[in-house]
A = this chain, B = another copy of it.
Amino acid sequence: MNSLYIIKIGGNVIDNSENLYHFLKDFKDLAGYKILVHGGGKIATQVGDSLGIESRMVDGRRITDVETLRVVTMVYGGLVNKNIVAQLQRFGTNALGLTGADGNLITAKKRPVKTIDYGFVGDIYDGSVNTEGLSNLLTAGFTPVFCALTHDGDGQLLNTNADTIASALAVAMSGVFDTTLIYCFEKKGVLMDIDDEESVIRDIDPVRYEELKIQQIIHSGMLPKLDNAFTAIACGVKAVVIGRSDDLGNITQKKPFGTRLSRNT
């Protein structure tokens, strides 16, 4: 099986043009097949504010009414995505900027209204990812760059969490590629001591994860991230790596990078 990296970047990379430049430079050096997934960072909120559209967040999720969907379609699908693509082309990476609607690659279902109406927010389901279409683009030499938008297959774009998209892509593609999912965040990895950036735990398997939880070394904010990671691994993803975006070059230089979660260490 060929190897595939799926890398997700968030606000700390996107909102800072210098960070983004360095990240993309390291990204282009990664050998083999790769997919980039990005959110919109603070730019969507800034553009929304300028247009007089208020951002409403519930538990870190954006409430997406019609006006907000317009903003995120402009910012995620246009401004952020196309600038990343243009920069990757400059580095010789044949990037292709995508929403889930393009090539019908990721379909989602509009989140049902329960206590909260999230508006045009899409939830991923089993079979959301068009594995064949995406494989064809990869083997044709393209590097897909996904923003945090999907569609319902019936003409409606949907705002969809970028972490979730990255994870769904990794699980779906793990049947075809030896898939490693990388989440870039602001820390060097999972830390033994939260105040010591050098205390990165290099490898965690499910047994060690249980130990770390019992020892209360992993703090509550990291638990959902790691739970989701181990779920992806249980669903076939080879490894999930959590690390700092500006250390990504370590992979190419065969140096340690972040915390590697996998079935067996």
| A77 partner, pick from B50, B52, B82, B142, beta carbons under 8 A | B82
How many chain copies? 2
Contact B102 A96 (CB under 8 A): yes
B-chain residues with CB within 8 Å of residue A102 when the two chains form the complex: 82, 85, 95-97
Contact A99 B75 (CB under 8 A): no
Contact A89 B74 (CB under 8 A): no
CB distance from A153 to the nearest CB of B (A): 6
A31 is an interface residue with CB less than 8 A from chain B? no
Contact A82 B70 (CB under 8 A): no
Contact B94 A153 (CB under 8 A): no
| A94 partner, pick from B104, B149, B151, beta carbons under 8 A | B104
A83 is an interface residue with CB less than 8 A from chain B? yes
Contact A81 B77 (CB under 8 A): yes
CB distance from A91 to the nearest CB of B (A): 8
Task: Assign chain A's interface to a size class.
Answer: 35 or more
Q: A73-B83, A77-B81 are in contact. Are A103 and B94 (CB under 8 A)?
A: yes
- Bound state CA distance, A253 and B29, in angstroms? 52
A195 is an interface residue with CB less than 8 A from chain B? no
Secondary structure dominating the interface of A: helix
A86 is an interface residue with CB less than 8 A from chain B? yes
B-chain residues with CB within 8 Å of residue A101 when the two chains form the complex: 82, 85-86, 89, 95, 97
Chain B residue with minimal CB distance to A93?
B104
A 74-122 contacts with B by CB, 8 A:
74-79, 81-83, 85-87, 89-90, 94-99, 101-104
A156 is an interface residue with CB less than 8 A from chain B? yes
- Bound state CA distance, A233 and B247, in angstroms? 53
A194 is an interface residue with CB less than 8 A from chain B? no
Contact A96 B89 (CB under 8 A): no
CB distance from A107 to the nearest CB of B (A): 9
CB distance from A74 to the nearest CB of B (A): 4
Contact B89 A155 (CB under 8 A): yes
Chain B residue with minimal CB distance to A21?
B155
B-chain residues with CB within 8 Å of residue A99 when the two chains form the complex: 82, 85-86, 97
- CB pairs A–B below 8 angstroms (22 shown): A47-B74, A50-B51, A50-B52, A74-B79, A75-B78, A77-B78, A77-B97, A82-B99, A82-B102, A82-B157, A85-B99, A85-B101, A85-B102, A86-B155, A86-B157, A89-B104, A89-B153, A90-B155, A96-B96, A96-B98, A97-B101, A136-B140
State the 4 A-B residue pairs at the shortest beta-carbon distance, nearest first.
A78-B78, A74-B74, A90-B155, A77-B78
